[in-house]
Amino acid sequence: MSCEQETALALHAAGRRSTTPRIKVASALQHAGGHLTAEEIHALIQETDHQAAIALSTVYRTLETLKEIRLVAEADGGPRATYEWVDREHPHSHLMCRACGREAMLPPQFVAEFASRIEATAGFEVHLDHFVVPGLCADCRATEGRA
């Protein structure tokens, strides 16, 4: 239950109310792990809680709210947006290949240094919690070179 208390605290700290739908969406994302679409989150909540269903539009709004207070990150890349819980202890970003679709981990210190350079020069606080860098992986570059 401590996860849920953490979510509630973070909401209060941001001046937002702690409500049942918010706790449920956050909880679903935390426990499922990985990338989920709004639809999947909605279904997951219905399964867990047959009684108190929440509306799909509420899921979307709630995800927007959780994104604003940086508990959740959105990762586009396709017809449907996906969402992931932000692990504050282990922030990470991805490299995503546009050719084969595979994802690789991006060393967090690269992002951290990039962010701190921007903060130092522009005074801008960078929010790259879970950031997807598009490009071509080494394998696909080799293939394209040959083709």
Partner DNA sequence: GCCCGTCTTGCGAATATTCACAAGAGTACA
Partner DNA sequence: TGTACTCTTGTGAATATTCGCAAGACGGGC
> In angstroms, what is the minimal distance from the CB of 38 to DNA?
5
Give the whole-angstrom CA distance, residue 131 versus residue 115: 12
Structure token pair of residue 82: 């996906």
| Residue 102 binding DNA, by CB under 7 A | no
H/E stretch holding 75 reads strand 72-75
Q: Which stretch binds DNA (CB under 7 A): 35-43, 92-100, 114-122, 129-137?
A: 35-43
Structure token pair of residue 142: 């080799």
Distance from the Cα of residue 83 to its chain's centroid: 4
Q: Which does 18 bind (CB under 5 to 8 A by kind): its own copies, DNA, none?
A: DNA
Binding site for its own copies (CB under 8 A): 68, 76, 95, 97-98, 104, 106-107, 110, 114, 117-118, 121-128, 133-138, 141
